[in-house]
Structure 1
Amino acid sequence: MVAVNARRRRRWTPRDELVAKFLSEQWIADFATLMLLLGTRRSRTYKLMEKWRDDFGAVHSDSLRPRGKDRAVTWVWATQGTATRCLGYEASAWVPRSTNLTHKGEVSRVRAALVGLETGVWVPERLLLREAARKTPGLFAAGQASLLSQFSARPHVHDGRYFDGERWWAVEVELTLKTPSARLLISVLAAYRTLQNGHGLLYVYATDRIGNALDSAIKELIRAKKLPRSPGIRLRRLSAVIARRSIELPASSAGPEEAVS
């Protein structure tokens, strides 16, 4: 009875609402990202997750193993009702799968590291997709995305937009190396051409091999006059961004990006 009464005293706080909005906008986050987002230890984070899930029915949680990983971890995502309330429109039902966990999870981690729960400084991919669908509805129709003709015409959508206090950046989180190299060139050019006026392009990459490939692709596009000589592109290693919670990194940890930023 004591435990039940204690649970009934739990309140839905403004911070809980910010977390619900974060999860609704980013689709999903793993347990480590929640700890980073909240600045809480494991036990406290678990109690909060339990509150959101069991007391308020605001989130789902499960132990899931992303494709290519050797172990499962705890993931948390907003219910359809929570997403609808937080996003301000009827959100579609979304179910995590092994194929979509890793990338969505790392984008959530980048957002948590750079802006935490701060509002007005991050535009999520989920809203960018909705914006793109309004502009070109035929290309985003349900069941049509697999058609090659529509895929080739479909506009590029960034993984998010981030305001660093001085400038907006379109964010691309690269976890795998795009091959052949022509595919990477096309991807970089599409990401650049989709930029809004005055925005920079920020690549957050998982490995040095990916960072070096991006650096080479950008230089090749500059040589081919597909990009200007100073394109306003930054490359940042994922682990460094998470550790420092910033895209302003010392030269010793910057990697290849100094050549193109």
Structure 2
Amino acid sequence: MTSAPEFRLQPRDTRIEEFCAQQYGMSLTTLMKAMERSQRSAYKLAKRLHEAGRVHVTRLDYGSPGPWRRSEQFDDSTVAPHGPLWIYLRREIAWGYLEFDPGEWQPKASTAAHLTAVTELRLALTGMETDPEVWTSERLLRRRFKSENGLPGSHISDGWFQDFADPDKTWAIEVELSRKFGDGRLMRSMTAALNTAERHELAGVLYFVRGEGLRRAVEGVAARMARQRGVERLLNLEIHDLDATLARNEVNKP
């Protein structure tokens, strides 16, 4: 009787797993972009890691456009698929990369679109770099600034990003996909982001926003914040178009 072949991670697999652990997880479409390979290659890797007991793969419906094709590897043949497939590491595997117990985690429909945007922005800016000095993920920041009572001690950015032109500077990253309405929520959110960046002596905050309407809203709040501080404009807050940045990702990679 022959035994099953030993499972061995390739260096590329290790880098993808570490990146995935830092970003919580990713859709298989994002995995394909990270690998810079075909959809078939991404599904093949996901299947290989899943069969080795290293990752979970689940279908997540958060209203993203289809049509969706059933996966022979991951879908029940009796259920019509809705939404993209997501891959995320098992708790003990993520623990090994993060060097702390991340607890049980699984993707949620309510946050999947935002996580996807942040992950794809990271890929656009730094590629598959996993050095936390180059990009410190929200998951790592949340662990770093965890207060004694087990809750985050301050606003948690979507990431920290090392300045290409000046490596001594680090910027907080904020990704906004939709307008925060009511009771000054956008003002409070932006103020908290800027205050946290200043508290940790960062260069400032880079806002990446989706859509012209949201951009105008963020620019308006930034102007109000500048007036409150008695300056013409905030030199430590920049606003960028998210989709334009993603479109020119090859240019922005170091």
Bucket of the pairwise TM-score, normalised by the shorter protein: 0.7 to 0.9
- Structure 1 residue 213 corresponds to structure 2 residue 217: yes
Partner in structure 1 of residue 20 of structure 2:
23
Q: Which amino acid in structure 2 is aligned with residue 203 of structure 1?
A: Y
Superposed displacement of residue 160, structure 1 = 0.5
What do you get for the CA RMSD once the two structures are aligned? 2.5
Superposed displacement of residue 32, structure 1 = 1.8
Partner in structure 1 of residue 194 of structure 2:
192
Where 2:37 maps in the other structure, the secondary structure is coil
Contact in 2 for aligned 1:65/1:73 (Cα 8 Å): yes
Q: Does the C-alpha gap of structure 1 residues 246 and 155 become closer, same or farther in structure 2, counting only changes over 3 Å?
A: farther
Tell me, in whole angstroms, the C-alpha distance in 1 between the residues paired with 2:56 and 2:111: 16
More helix by share: 1
Superposed displacement of residue 127, structure 1 = 1.1
Q: Which amino acid in structure 1 is aligned with residue 188 of structure 2?
A: I
- Structure 1 residue 239 corresponds to structure 2 residue 243: yes
Q: Which amino acid in structure 1 is aligned with residue 89 of structure 2?
A: A
Give the gaps of 5 or more residues in structure 2: 66-81
Partner in structure 1 of residue 162 of structure 2:
163
Contact in 2 for aligned 1:156/1:194 (Cα 8 Å): yes
Contact in 2 for aligned 1:162/1:170 (Cα 8 Å): yes
Superposed displacement of residue 181, structure 1 = 6.5
Tell me, in whole angstroms, the C-alpha distance in 1 between the residues paired with 2:50 and 2:232: 49
Partner in structure 2 of residue 119 of structure 1:
130
Partner in structure 2 of residue 48 of structure 1:
45
Q: Which one of 64, 69, 75 corresponds to residue 64 of structure 2?
A: 69
Q: Does the C-alpha gap of structure 1 residues 228 and 60 become closer, same or farther in structure 2, counting only changes over 3 Å?
A: farther
Partner in structure 2 of residue 256 of structure 1:
none
Where 2:145 maps in the other structure, the secondary structure is helix
Give the gaps of 5 or more residues in structure 1: 142-153, 249-261
Give 1:75-224 correspondences, 5 Å limit: 75-120=86-131, 121-133=134-146, 136-138=147-149, 140=151, 155-165=154-164, 166=166, 167-180=169-182, 182-195=184-197, 196-224=200-228
- Structure 1 residue 225 corresponds to structure 2 residue 222: no
Tell me, in whole angstroms, the C-alpha distance in 2 between the residues paired with 1:180 and 1:101: 23
Tell me, in whole angstroms, the C-alpha distance in 1 between the residues paired with 2:186 and 2:234: 19
Q: Which amino acid in structure 2 is aligned with residue 24 of structure 1?
A: A
Tell me, in whole angstroms, the C-alpha distance in 2 between the residues paired with 1:9 and 1:82: 17
Where 2:9 maps in the other structure, the secondary structure is coil
- Structure 1 residue 57 corresponds to structure 2 residue 46: no
Tell me, in whole angstroms, the C-alpha distance in 2 between the residues paired with 1:242 and 1:229: 26
Where 1:8 maps in the other structure, the secondary structure is coil
Contact in 1 for aligned 2:222/2:234 (Cα 8 Å): no
Tell me, in whole angstroms, the C-alpha distance in 1 between the residues paired with 2:88 and 2:238: 30
Which string of whole-angstrom CA distances, capped at 9 and with x for unpartnered residues, describes residues 189-241 of structure 1? 11001013242211111211111111010011101117773432221222111
Q: Does the C-alpha gap of structure 1 residues 227 and 84 become closer, same or farther in structure 2, counting only changes over 3 Å?
A: farther
Where 2:172 maps in the other structure, the secondary structure is strand
TM-score, scaled to structure 2: 0.82
Q: Does the C-alpha gap of structure 1 residues 226 and 48 become closer, same or farther in structure 2, counting only changes over 3 Å?
A: farther
Q: Does the C-alpha gap of structure 1 residues 207 and 42 become closer, same or farther in structure 2, counting only changes over 3 Å?
A: same
> Which of 214-223 and 117-126 deviates more?
117-126
TM-score, scaled to structure 1: 0.80
Contact in 2 for aligned 1:20/1:78 (Cα 8 Å): yes
Alignment size in residue pairs? 229
Tell me, in whole angstroms, the C-alpha distance in 2 between the residues paired with 1:47 and 1:171: 32
Tell me, in whole angstroms, the C-alpha distance in 2 between the residues paired with 1:234 and 1:162: 13
Tell me, in whole angstroms, the C-alpha distance in 2 between the residues paired with 1:111 and 1:90: 23
Q: Does the C-alpha gap of structure 1 residues 225 and 57 become closer, same or farther in structure 2, counting only changes over 3 Å?
A: same
Q: Which amino acid in structure 2 is aligned with residue 132 of structure 1?
A: F
